[in-house]
Amino acid sequence: MSNFVAEKDPSDSICSDIEDLAPQIPYYTKEYRDALQMCRKIAWVLGLETDGRLVFGCLGEMTVGKLRKQLHIQSTPSDASEEFWSALGEFCRQERVTTLSLGTIGTCPDIPIIGRVFSHKVRCEYWVDLQAPDIEMALRPQQRRVLRKARARGLELRVPPISSGLATHNLLSEQSLGRRRERGESIPVFDDSYIPQALIETGAARIYECVLEEEVLGSVIITVAKKGVHGYSAGYSRRGMKLGAAVFLSVATFQSMRSEGKSVFNLGDAPRDSGLAVFKRGLGSEEHESLSKSFDTASPAVRFIINGYSSLSQILRR
């Protein structure tokens, strides 16, 4: 007989249990829980246990506002059963969750309907096998040439101080996003500038830079687990792109993580037809379908109140 597990502000012990079940997922770790709490989010471990033993689980983050309560799970369990999904829906009703957002970072399960769907996106993640016999030979020929030239120019890998590193990272990330907008790509906007510092300070993430004679050409933030890595964000200057910083920094972090015993590097998702997807495929990655779904799980009464409050706010702003 299986029982649904829902532990608020989860202990180190249960966080270790879910990390052991999926050691490649950076969003199941104690460090990630600590980062959520530093950002004033409520951490929950959600899963199923049989005979007192956790068989699968995940770490979720809850945000509570005046009227809305949102639950977001970055990586839903890859082996989640129908029983789990049903229990998760019931949990949302009991906790009066108004919005449930589910992702499949590093897991890629199917996500059933749990409420009224108001967002459904299908993209591709790009995974690099860090245990491949030769990481560099897995690169496409053009990327190998870029890497050789970057090394000949003297590009180097550096771990910066957190404060200055984040300031530079934000600047370079905005430059990269600007170039993607110029190419006509649709770029989502997130107000999460405070999160990377919490991730790095708790050990849930790391920051690396690509430098040439003290000039920072590129920066990357990665979240880490026992066996896996996820590319959280990256940014490069125009000069950095011309000098091969993106390929150099990617391969340098692959090799650094491989030396620590990591087995998979998830480069993150991208639309299949985008320039970013072409770049990630060129690094020797494999495509894996990635899903994200958001559901309206509010009760009719709560939804009525939220809609009324929103309408009143719009009238008062006129």
Residue 9: what pLDDT?
Answer: 96
Contact 293, 120 (CB under 8 A): yes
Question: Of the candidates 179, 239, 183, 234, which has an alpha carbon nearest to the alpha carbon of residue 209?
Answer: 234
Residue 179: what pLDDT?
Answer: 77
> What pTM did the predictor assign?
0.90
> What is the rounded distance in angstroms from the CA atom of residue 177 to the CA atom of residue 186?
10
Residue 125: what pLDDT?
Answer: 95
Neighbour order of strands in the sheet with 228-236: 2-8, 42-50, 53-64, 69-73, 99-103, 286-296, 116-129, 264-270, 228-236, 215-224, 205-212, 156-158
> 193-212 burial, b for 16+ CB within 10 Å, e for fewer?
eebbbbbbebebbbbbbbbb
Residue 78: what pLDDT?
Answer: 87
Asked, colleague to colleague, whether 2-115+297-317 and 125-288 share their fold, the answer is: yes
**Burial of 88 from C-beta contacts in 10 A (0-12 / 13-18 / 19+):** buried
pLDDT digits (tens, 9 = 90+) for 270-290: 888 888 899 999 999 999 998
Topology at the third CATH level for domain 125-288: Aminopeptidase (3.40.630)
Residue 310: what pLDDT?
Answer: 62
Residue 16: what pLDDT?
Answer: 95
**Burial of 94 from C-beta contacts in 10 A (0-12 / 13-18 / 19+):** exposed
Break the chain into its structural domains and give their ranges: 2-115+297-317, 125-288
Q: What are the distances in angstroms from CA 63 to CA 3, 67, 101, 110, 250?
A: 25, 11, 11, 24, 33
Token output for 115: 């409420």
Greatest Cα-to-Cα distance within the chain, rounded to the nearest angstrom: 65
Q: Which of the residues in the chain have pLDDT under 50?
A: none
Residue 103: what pLDDT?
Answer: 94
Query: Among 3.40.630.30, 3.60.21.10, 3.30.300.30, 3.40.50.720, what is the CATH number of 2-115+297-317?
Result: 3.40.630.30
Strand partners, 302: none
> What is the rounded distance in angstroms from the CA atom of residue 83 to the CA atom of residue 150?
51
Residue 215: what pLDDT?
Answer: 96
Q: State the residue for tokens 């770790």.
A: 29
Residue 113: what pLDDT?
Answer: 86
> What is the rounded distance in angstroms from the CA atom of residue 255 to the CA atom of residue 265?
10
